[in-house]
Amino acid sequence: MSNRLSREKINYLSRQVLNVLEKVDQVDFLDDPNEIRLVIVKSIEEEMKLYESLDKKAIDKIQSQKKAIEEGSREYEILYRKYYNDELAKLGKLSD
């Protein structure tokens, strides 16, 4: 269930974020725009790693069930969503 972004997509997103920030009057860059873009890239990559870790934890919990649960089944999807959201909640990323 990995939603891995390619390097090209991450670079594209970072340029889009930078373009939006450049249009905001209240934003003044104190560093070179490309340096800021690289920080945006790093932030996106770190966030993707976090969500990949949550994905792995949810899958590991499903696979640790005594009863085998077929990937792609309705039961699998429900458990995946529950376990993934549980992990998100632990991080304070999900508000109920």
For residue 94, pLDDT beyond 90: no
Model confidence over 7-44: pLDDT tens digits?
999 999 999 999 999 999 998 988 999 999 999 999 99
- For residue 2, is it within any domain? no
SS3 31: coil
pLDDT tens string 78-93: 999 999 999 989 888 6
pTM, to two decimals: 0.72
**95 inside domain:** no
In a domain, 31, yes or no: yes
Q: Could you tell me if residue 22 is inside a domain?
A: yes
Q: Write down the pLDDT at residue 64.
A: 95
Q: What is the pLDDT of residues 44-85, one digit of tens each?
A: 999 999 999 999 999 999 999 999 999 999 999 999 999 999
- Domain total of the chain: 1
Which domain range does residue 37 map to?
Answer: 7-90
